[in-house]
Copies of this chain bind each other. A is one copy, B any other.
Amino acid sequence: MAKEKKLVEAITSMEEDFAQWYTDVVKKAELVDYSSVKGCMVIKPAGYAIWENIQKELDRRFKETGVENVYMPMFIPESLLQREKDHVEGFAPEVAWVTHGGLNELQERMCVRPTSETLFCDFYARDIQSYRDLPKVYNQWCSVVRWEKETRPFLRSREFLWQEGHTAHATAEEAKERTIQMLNIYADFCEEVLAMPVVKGQKTEKEKFAGAEATYTIEALMHDGKALQSGTSHNFGDGFAKAFGIQFTDKDNKLKHVYQTSWGMTTRLIGAIIMVHGDNSGLVLPPRIAPTQVMIIPIMQKKEGVLEKAEELRGILSSNYRVKVDDSDKSPGWKFSEQEMRGIPIRIEIGPKDIEANQAVIVRRDTREKIQVSLDELNEKVGEVLEQIQHDMFERAKAHRDAHTVTAKNWDEFKEAIAEQRGFVKAMWCGCKECEEAIKEETTATTRCMPFEQENLGETCVHCGKPAKAMVYFGKAY
């Protein structure tokens, strides 16, 4: 039996069923496919190209601050994982265990890294001897495994791609500074490149990383009003250094423990891009991250000169932009909807009449605005429109985020806001874990972060009425 490729089908509308809309988009935009390995995804070319652009841009920003890339083994012997108490408790329940190598059972089983703090610490304990060896500012790009029960492409899968930075410093101050520096790089990257506004802040004790002294986070708001933790940066103090014996001889000839940090961003960001910018026609990619920024679609391409003109324009534009021509034998309407589904920021329509008039039509993916432009000005105009799209996408996402950030001064307001899933709820909090847990229990909302930009919304905790210690962003989260 012949298998025929199905026509592009309509995707579920996001108002009707946001989760199904998301699943439809990742499939129809050909970002991801399911695999025969339960909970693991195949990242297809259109998805991986976004990741490559994320990597390129982040890696460049990292290296400007002195980061060096390395590669650690993917396996962690069980005894090494157990070295830091909080850390093993946090991760052991969700790792995959290798028990056999070749035909033999291993003497000690190993897990596939869920994160590599223990490996970096083990290495640093051997590699760091003197203050001259500090700081170490290492990073690796790799995949990690966490044995999740429920999975969703990009957002939560058993294997995902990420970068993990691991640094060691001579002083606590330097470690703190590096932690914040990397958080700022993450935030700037999200806002400048992904057009995605984020709230920067600190995680509560309950929500911080297993083994960290403090965890900082950037939180973004998705179109459905749910929060997505989009990057984290951890200050370990000297906790891991003590557990792993990472010591150095300082300038004063005294033996001291190092201070450490780690920080990571993952393929989850692709999920964020989809859920912040997407619409009912599919993906909408910010120009700075889009693998293809411009799709030229010839109209009546069999007419003499049309394909040639399309190719000529591609040649001109491609020295400045990432441009393709869709010269397949599909109809123009079909090509339009594919370009929209894939979120390509601009399409250029060019047909015999346009050529005669020495013009083309630029269509913006985000607003669908059509702009007639003289071919003489096309190159410049495309640049302007891409910049405008990038700018407008950020402003729209920010307006949406701000419109879905509400203040709750008392418990009734809080419950109502969460029940309606308006988005972020700002409220005062007493700082007690019990209150945090009770709030989660009653509303399913969690503390997203204590933002760096604190506001005084009142003197008492929104839940228990005791004196407030901090203003917190709450929200339902992915």
Using CB atoms and an 8 Å cutoff, list the residues of chain A in contact with chain B.
Answer: 1-5, 33, 35-37, 40-45, 48-49, 51-52, 68-77, 80, 93-103, 110, 112, 119, 122-123, 126-127, 129-130, 132-133, 138, 142-143, 145, 147, 158-159, 161, 247-249, 253, 255, 328
Contacts and interface: CB of A to CB of B under 8 A. Distances in A.
Nearest to A71: B43
A249 B77 CA distance: 49
Given A37-B110, A43-B71, A74-B74, 12 more contacts: A4-B129, A33-B123, A35-B73, A35-B123, A42-B72, A45-B68, A71-B143, A74-B112, A96-B101, A96-B102, A97-B100, A101-B147
Given A45-B69, A70-B48, A98-B96, A5 B130 contact: yes
Given A48-B71, A72-B35, A1 B255 contact: yes
A40 B113 CA distance: 13
Of the candidates A72, A73, A93, A328, the one having the most CB atoms from chain B within 10 angstroms of its own CB is A73
B103 A93 contact: yes
Nearest to A136: B45
Please tell me how many copies of the chain the complex holds: 2
A74 B35 contact: no
A21 to B, nearest CB: 23
B5 A37 contact: no
B249 A129 contact: no
A129 B5 CA distance: 6
A135 to B, nearest CB: 13
Contact of A122 (B36, B100, B119, B147): B36
Contacts of A138: 45
Contacts of A99: 97-100
Contact of A33 (B2, B75, B127): B127
Contact of A2 (B73, B255, B328): B255
B35 A119 contact: yes
A50 to B, nearest CB: 11
A161 B4 CA distance: 37
22 contacts: A2-B249, A4-B130, A5-B129, A5-B132, A33-B127, A35-B119, A36-B119, A37-B73, A40-B73, A42-B70, A42-B73, A43-B71, A44-B70, A45-B68, A45-B69, A71-B161, A74-B159, A75-B96, A96-B101, A96-B102, A97-B98, A97-B101
